[in-house]
Amino acid sequence: MQDLFSLKGRTALITGGSRGIGKMIAAGFLAHGAKVYVSSRKAEACDKAASELSAAGTCVSLPADVSSVEGVHGLAARFLAREDKLDILVNNAGAAWGAEFDSFPELGWDKVLDLNLKSPFFLTQALIGPLRAAAKDRVAKVINIASIDGVSVAGQETYSYGASKAGLIHLTKRMALRLAPDNIAVSAIAPGAFASDMNREARDHADAVAKMIPAGRVGTDEDMAGAAIYLASRAGDYVVGATLVVDGGVTHARG
């Protein structure tokens, strides 16, 4: 029981790991002993984040744009040049787009669906070799970062975002059924309000946002890291296809 949440000796890759939720997860994994690769589209930001995170353990920067299948394959190739096993893949990179129904653009649809829904599938596919290699010794993990907007309907007109996250939750179930026999556990996290560049309301107006959350506050780094560590560690080995909602009770309040 003492090592239930240990990640010692494990290797993780986190997309969108240079900031926000991805960086929170990276910090948590490092604190529990994992070697972490972080990836993001902007190389300078990725390198800076990896340098900062390295104070807590081994963190390597692998900049990549995973919004296209070509970019996905490029990231997989760069990872495979360094490692032959992957214990934990966190599909976190994402985008959002808000616009009124009458003027919602095709660009806002395709950009969000490609990054939020298409890329997690094809990156997992591209890295299935090292995931299976790791799974020979212990359960390998794929953790998809969804959103409470994929569980219940948000008030904002973010049509493609909500649809992409709902799709990702369903995809998590389908992938989990396929990969469980390979000793790979696929699960998801559906975050609520966490301070980040994507959720600037929670970042810049935390007090106002907190009034709409039953728990009375926005999520902290520890809240997100704790959920991810649970799923990534031995403690979460029997969690297959489930989505862990981490939102302070918001989805229940939405009714």
| Domain annotation covers residue 121 | yes
pTM recorded for the entire structure: 0.95
Structural domain of residue 185, as residue ranges? 11-254
Catalytic residue among 37, 159, 161, 238: 161
- At residue 255, the pLDDT reads 64
- At residue 104, the pLDDT reads 97
- At residue 151, the pLDDT reads 96
| Domain annotation covers residue 55 | yes
* DSSP, residue by residue, the chain: -TTTT--TT-EEEEETTTSHHHHHHHHHHHHTT-EEEEE-S-HHHHHHHHHHHGGGS-EEE----TTSHHHHHHHHHHHHTT-S--SEEEE---------GGG--HHHHHHHHIIIIIHHHHHHHHTHHHHHHHHTTS-EEEEEE--GGGTS--SS--HHHHHHHHHHHHHHHHHHHHHGGGTEEEEEEEE-SB-SSS-HHHHH-HHHHHTTSTTSS-B-HHHHHHHHHHHHSGGGTT--S-EEEESTTHHHHH-
User: Among candidates 225, 140, 149, which has minimal Cα distance to 176?
Assistant: 140
- At residue 211, the pLDDT reads 84
| Domain annotation covers residue 4 | no
Per-residue pLDDT of 202-212, as tens digits, reads 555 677 888 88
Distance CA 161, CA 182 (A): 31
User: Among candidates 73, 20, 18, which has minimal Cα distance to 41?
Assistant: 18
Segments of the chain with pLDDT less than 50: none
| Domain annotation covers residue 2 | no
- At residue 160, the pLDDT reads 98
Per-residue pLDDT of 82-127, as tens digits, reads 999 999 999 999 999 999 999 999 999 999 999 999 999 999 999 9
CATH number of the domain that 228 lies in? 3.40.50.720
Is 161 a known active-site residue? yes
| Domain annotation covers residue 193 | yes
| Domain annotation covers residue 189 | yes
- At residue 110, the pLDDT reads 98
| Domain annotation covers residue 187 | yes
| Domain annotation covers residue 3 | no
- At residue 195, the pLDDT reads 83
* Total count of domains within the chain: 1
Structure-token pair, residue 206: 């935390």
